[in-house]
Structure 1
Amino acid sequence: MSDYSRTDAAPSIGPDHHDGLRYPGPDAPFYLATGNEIAVFETCHARGLPVMLKGPTGCGKTRFVEHMAWRLGRPLVTVACHDDLSASDLTGRYLIRGSDTVWLDGPLTRAARHGALCYLDEIIEARQDTVVVIHPLTDDRRVLPLDKTGEILDAAPGFQLVISYNPGYQHGLKDLKPSTRQRFVALEFAFPSPELEAEIVEHESGIERDRAIALVTLTNRLRQLGDRGLAEVPSTRLIVAAARLVAGNIPVRAACHAALLGPLTDDPELLAAMHDLVTSTMP
């Protein structure tokens, strides 16, 4: 484990959401490093380099960004990307208020104007014609042209662009163009080792260590069903959800069925196989 490996405080992003920005609170969002990702991210921030986070759903990418915003003391803007996301949704648009027409910055523009971290979550889901709007911010220019206002916005000091996606979802048109990918420093994420994952589950849910270990052991067995048609294996996020149910006095097998198995599939054969694993693994 690296020197940057942990903070022991509970998650907290401060209550100040002025102008759509989330400012870090006094406590660090809990994050356990698995390698040198913190040092690499800090260097990228200091050098003005954008970062791409690659990894499965629920493995800690968003928590990592929140943790880094706290470490760097920068406000954070998060955008959940989707098929209908337009360039105007990112940059801004004119709105009619009473008898006036006013310009409203979008989240990308706010982040660039205020020197915030801008996190585009699951960028792969956005349309290609939307993604290209970020290109001028990802090279030495660090500018955002606002065609509707004629402004060429220079990114304020501290601005950093961060994108994430799940490589397992890439297919056909759901991929980033090389012209976009090669603008970013890539950080690879995976599920933590069983020891670290148990520590995360214990901290996030408050359950006993032995129960956290048992849930992680079960989940790693469930992940082996990925080659039997399971579209997506259970994430650390799902283990934490199950553990929180257990902490709330839900019986452990019922918690596993509700939080670990139910969200993964409706296939009766896969569910039967997973139910057998729960029965054989959990006391």
Structure 2
Amino acid sequence: MVDARTGPAEAGPYYLPTGNEVEVVEQCHAGGLAVMLKGPTGCGKTRFVEHMAWRLGRPLITVSCHDDLTASDLVGRFLIRHDETVWQDGPLTRAVREGAICYLDEVVEARQDTIVVLHPLTDYRRILPIDRTGETVEAAPGFQLVISYNPGYQRMLKDLKPSTRQRFVAIELDFPEPAAEAAIVARESGVEQGTAVALVELGGRLRSLRDRGLAEVPSTRLLIAAGRLVASGIGVRDACNAAVVSPLSDDATLLGAMRELVDAMFP
């Protein structure tokens, strides 16, 4: 049986490599090295981590980082249950104990004092001190820390400190080459190859508008969303406007230019 999202059931989450990123992460996992994924929004970072967790046979614990994420959210906290105080592990602590892969998505969104708790896990010690309980948890075999962020979106006040950056092996990901991206769009959305190629061509042309004020360019994720609408019976122009153009901007001028491009490509 084939699932449009994952491919054959035995193949795990579908991911099409664009370089040697699979081999690099495999060696990092074997050597206990933390990994940093850098790339634009929607280029496949999260799917890559899902694929690698399946490939390595490890559980995956994912945390979406945000401004209010505290160290306690990652490590754990005391809770009151049935008139007693009990400790509850956070997602990072669970991953350390279980030997899971812990994936921190968009890590630059987290506060700096939160990121500091990662440091003892990213060097030879591979430990997680829990100040609230006095416990020091040694990383179980198979544990790996993976973080990701979008360099083009980060702001000066939300960059990683050099002391944090240099604790990770960095892998740069980008949108695939057109032929590969079309294969991904066709596989993930279920549209025919010709439509997938046209959607990728549209994406490429829209990405050239970055110099005209477009803050975020269309991701592979958006092209797949448009493909899924087309596969469900929605007209290709309507699908592109709804799934690709409208999410990118609220600026009337930019929206008009992008919609004209859609009309020209899909008359």
Contact 2:108-2:158 at 8 Å conserved across structures: yes
Contact 2:12-2:55 at 8 Å conserved across structures: yes
User: Residue in 2 aligned with 1:47?
Assistant: 31
Taking CA–CA contacts closer than 8 Å with sequence separation of 6 or more, which of the two structures ends up with the larger relative contact order? Answer: 2
RMSD: 1.2
User: Residue in 2 aligned with 1:90?
Assistant: 74
User: Residue in 2 aligned with 1:126?
Assistant: 110
Contact 2:18-2:176 at 8 Å conserved across structures: yes
Q: 2:141 aligns with which of 148, 152, 157?
A: 157
Distance in 2 of aligned mates of 1:10 and 1:236:
15
Q: After the TM superposition, which segments of 4 or more aligned residues of structure 1 sit over 3 Å from their partners?
A: 8-12
Distance in 2 of aligned mates of 1:260 and 1:74:
34
Contact 1:28-1:70 at 8 Å conserved across structures: yes
* Residues paired across the two proteins, number: 264
Shift of 1:9: 6.8
Alignment of 1:216-235 (within 5 A): 216-235=200-219
* Identity across the alignment (%): 69
Contact 2:4-2:190 at 8 Å conserved across structures: no
User: Counterpart of 1:173 in 2: which secondary structure?
Assistant: helix
If the length of structure 2 is used for normalisation, what is the TM-score? 0.97
User: Residue in 2 aligned with 1:17?
Assistant: none
User: Residue in 1 aligned with 2:132?
Assistant: 148
Alignment of 1:1-283 (within 5 A): 11=5, 26-283=10-267
The 1:44/1:9 distance shift into structure 2, 3 A limit, reads farther
Distance in 2 of aligned mates of 1:172 and 1:186:
19
User: Counterpart of 1:197 in 2: which secondary structure?
Assistant: helix
If the length of structure 1 is used for normalisation, what is the TM-score? 0.91
User: Counterpart of 1:119 in 2: which secondary structure?
Assistant: strand
Distance in 1 of aligned mates of 2:83 and 2:252:
59
Contact 1:230-1:265 at 8 Å conserved across structures: yes
**One-letter identity of the residue aligned with 2:48:** F
Structure 1 gap segments, 5+ residues each: 1-7, 13-24
